[in-house]
A = this chain, B = another copy of it.
Amino acid sequence: MTDTGRTTAENAVLALLLEVSSTPKPGNVDREREYPDLRFEDFVTGAVGTLDGFERAADGASLGPAFERAIAGMSQQSGGNTQFGAVLLLMPLVAAAGEGTVTAERASDIVAETTVEDTVAFFTAFDHVDVAVDDPPPDMDDLDVRRGSAAETAIRERGITLAELMDESADRDGLAAEYTNGFARTFAAADAIEAGSGPITDRAAAVFLELLTEEPDTFVVTKHDEATAREVTERAEAVLAGEEAADDLAEELVEREINPGTTADIIAGGLFVALERGLEV
């Protein structure tokens, strides 16, 4: 509970809603832009659907099963994968906040405490929704997340915890990197949102652009390639330098279906941390 009377789980849902309401966030669905098969209303509905999973995490449930429940709820809309990555990033933050205070240290400890059961549940979450992911490394073929719950035996044989799995992916997945690097970008985003002024959704959109210039978006690398992700970074720099309009870049990236989803996920995480620390809407 915060001063607003909202529970931790409600703040997590609100963070997802404020993230998708923030505009312009070039390439991503936001209040003013959507794809014919992936709409603003899908994100809104997906966000509401995560509540029960977040409540479980806030109440001390294991990370993996709480995540799987949130994704099952999120998937109850026709757009498919709306917030898989954001929910993944939020889970340890919500679990930490549920204990009292959201800190990077406690969230990292909660990740470190994950078990093989969490990995099984994490894979099972992929049964609910199609997620764009990279092929696994050759020596980890049996741990392709796209196998979903069918990978259970392989997971148990390898005995890999969710923390170990994230560690394996951290060099090519910006969310796994947050899990293993102390949620550095998430808390930096929270700081930047808190330091801003004016409407929260304007602040979040501004911080989104800043994050985009800092590192290539790994979701864009996965869906397209490194060159495309670098181009997005450079174009975001041009916007910040005043050489290009954010709205123009937003139109173009949606047109080309280039959506920097990992960066949006980090904004959702930053919004949650800021809300928990008392950010007023």
Which residues of A approach B to under 8 Å, CB–CB? Answer: 4-7, 10, 13-14, 17-18, 21, 31-32, 39-42, 44-45, 48-49, 51-52, 72-73, 76-78, 199-201, 280-281
Contact = CB atoms under 8 A, between A and B. Distances in A.
A31 B21 CA distance: 8
What is the oligomeric copy number? 2
Contact of A17 (B17, B51, B78): B17
A199 B7 CA distance: 31
B40 A21 contact: yes
Interface centre among A14, A21, A76, A77 (most CB of B within 10 A): A21
A205 B31 CA distance: 15
Given A21-B40, A280-B78, A48 B201 contact: no
Contacts of A199: 39, 41
A11 B200 CA distance: 25
16 contacts: A10-B48, A10-B49, A10-B51, A13-B48, A14-B45, A17-B44, A17-B48, A18-B41, A18-B44, A18-B45, A21-B44, A32-B32, A41-B201, A41-B281, A78-B280, A78-B281
Contacts of A45: 14, 18, 281
Contacts of A31: 31-32, 40
A200 B49 contact: no
Contacts of A39: 199, 201
Contact of A49 (B5, B44, B72): B5
Nearest to A69: B5
A14 B200 contact: no
A49 B280 contact: no
Nearest to A3: B76
Contacts of A49: 4-6, 10
Contacts of A21: 40-41, 44
Contacts of A48: 6, 10, 13-14, 17
Contact of A14 (B4, B18, B32, B44): B44
Nearest first, the 8 A-B pairs at minimum CB distance are A4-B76, A45-B281, A14-B48, A77-B281, A31-B31, A17-B44, A41-B201, A10-B48
Nearest to A34: B199
A49 B10 CA distance: 8
A200 B4 contact: no
